[in-house]
Amino acid sequence: MGSNVQPRRVIIDTDGGVDDAAALWWALTDPRLDLVGVTTVGGVVSAAEAAGNVLRILDAAGRRDIPVAVGADQRVGLAPSLRRADFIHGDDGLGNTQRPMPQGLSPSPESARDLMLRLCAEAPGKTSIVALGPLTNLAMAAADDPAWPARVQELVAMAGSARSGGNALPIGEANVAHDPTAAMRVVEAHWARPPLMVGLDVTHRATLTDVEFALLAEQRTPAAAFLDAPLNFYRTYGSTFTAPNCPCHDLFAVLALAEPGIVTDAPVLPLAVDTGMGAAWGTTVVDFRAIAFARVAGSTQEQPAGFHPWRIALDADVVRFRAALRGLFGEE
Ligand code: BDR
Ligand code: CA
């Protein structure tokens, strides 16, 4: 992973789950990334509990210097009622490992949105965000400062599903379903470049196999030692839609920033979120007609009202993803 280029400044917004933990370990150990702050949001666990989990990881990784700010538990708009994800992530979001809180470490007094705004103002156009939970904090930051999205270098959001069905709802992915209005506000914000939606279309393909779990069990690296028990807990129900292999949604999203080639197909397509209260409430809607129309010479398809251009990750280099994971777990 060695490189001479300047590492990318990145803020991670997380809801404190097991795959979030794996994503954080990646960000902390990849020299191409400079994790400058972590913000938390209620989702898998509460925003305060998520901050506790982040502090546990930062402590274990020897990075107690990175600021962690607690964000929102309340939602920007009405949201469908969802089953708690404790059966997937454990009651504590870390597979019921109940790791003790590190001594002398606490979240920053700043709110999540203030930390995001401040860190982006310190290096405008040079700070990226990877969103790994409900998009509430991002929507609130954009409401506080509508010019902020244009200062974000790149946004990668583990969110949604273009054509792969749902996990939290029949066709709804959890991070969008938790706060559909926030997701829509983030979709329509004025970002510097079309953000990347990393949804179930890729995270249900890029999975961990027995090979990665066998290496994980050897606990060769601090990341593997920390993640072994949580990922084994997560594997049972986290693999519901991908059995026998196990997704690691949020880790894939961080990798998509660090190593863009891991996403092998990501066309820019019109994206919207269903914020109505019907059967598709809390789901992403991608207009694939644009691809079909583009193939027909002279034919044009206008972007439908309420849709905005995003890069939609549709395919992944699964071999490369698994190799990257084995690197995190200590494969020489
Ligand atoms: C997303 O929902 C959360 O449970 C996971 O951490 C991930 O961010 C997957 O739909
Ligand atoms: Ca998450």
Tens of pLDDT, residues 134-159: 999 999 999 999 999 999 999 999 99
What is the band of 2 on the pLDDT scale with cuts at 50, 70, 90?
very low
Mind telling me the catalytic residues? 15, 249
Residue 237 CA: which ligand is closest? 1
Q: Is pLDDT at 171 greater than 90 in this prediction?
A: yes
Question: What would the pLDDT profile of 14-38 be if each residue is shown by its tens digit?
Answer: 999 999 999 999 999 999 999 999 9
pLDDT over 90 (residue 298): no
- The confidence band for 291, taking pLDDT boundaries of 50, 70 and 90, is confident
> Does the beta carbon of 326 lie inside 6 Å of ligand 1?
no
CA nearest neighbour of 278 among 98, 78, 46: 78
What pLDDT is recorded for position 3? 53
Are 113 and 144 in contact, with CB atoms under 8 Å apart? Answer: yes
CA of 19 relative to ligand 2 center, distance in Å: 6
Provide the β-strand partners of residue 265.
Answer: 315
Which ligand 1 atom lies nearest to the CA of residue 200? 10
**C-beta of 249 in contact with ligand 1 (< 6 A):** yes
Ligand 1 centroid distance, CA of 151 (Å): 26
Q: Is 207 helix (H, G, I), strand (E, B) or coil?
A: strand
Report the separation in Å between the CA atom of 292 and the middle of ligand 2, taken as the mean of its atom positions: 33
Distances 91 to 98, 187, 228 between C-alpha atoms, Å: 9, 31, 17
Q: How far, in Å, are 11, 91, 232 from residue 99 at the CA level? A: 24, 12, 15
Percent residues over pLDDT 90 in the chain:
94
Residue pair 68/41 in contact by the 8 Å Cβ criterion: no
Q: DSSP string spanning 38-73?
A: EEE-SSSS-HHHHHHHHHHHHHHTT-TTS-EEE--S
CA of 44 from ligand 2 middle (Å) equals 7
Q: What are phi and psi of 289, to 5 degrees?
A: -60, -30
Which band of pLDDT confidence, cut at 50, 70 and 90, is reported for residue 296?
confident
Question: Pocket of ligand 1, candidates 158, 246, 254: which has the most ligand atoms within 8 Å of its Cβ, to mutate?
Answer: 158
Q: Which residue's alpha carbon is at the smallest distance from atom 6 of ligand 1?
A: 17
CA angle 322, 323, 327 (to 5 degrees): 115
Residue 332 to residue 323: CA distance in whole angstroms: 11
Mean pLDDT estimate for the chain: 96
Count Cα atoms within 13 angstroms, Cβ side, for 185. 20
112: closest CA among 12, 227, 180? 12
Q: What is the pTM of this model?
A: 0.96
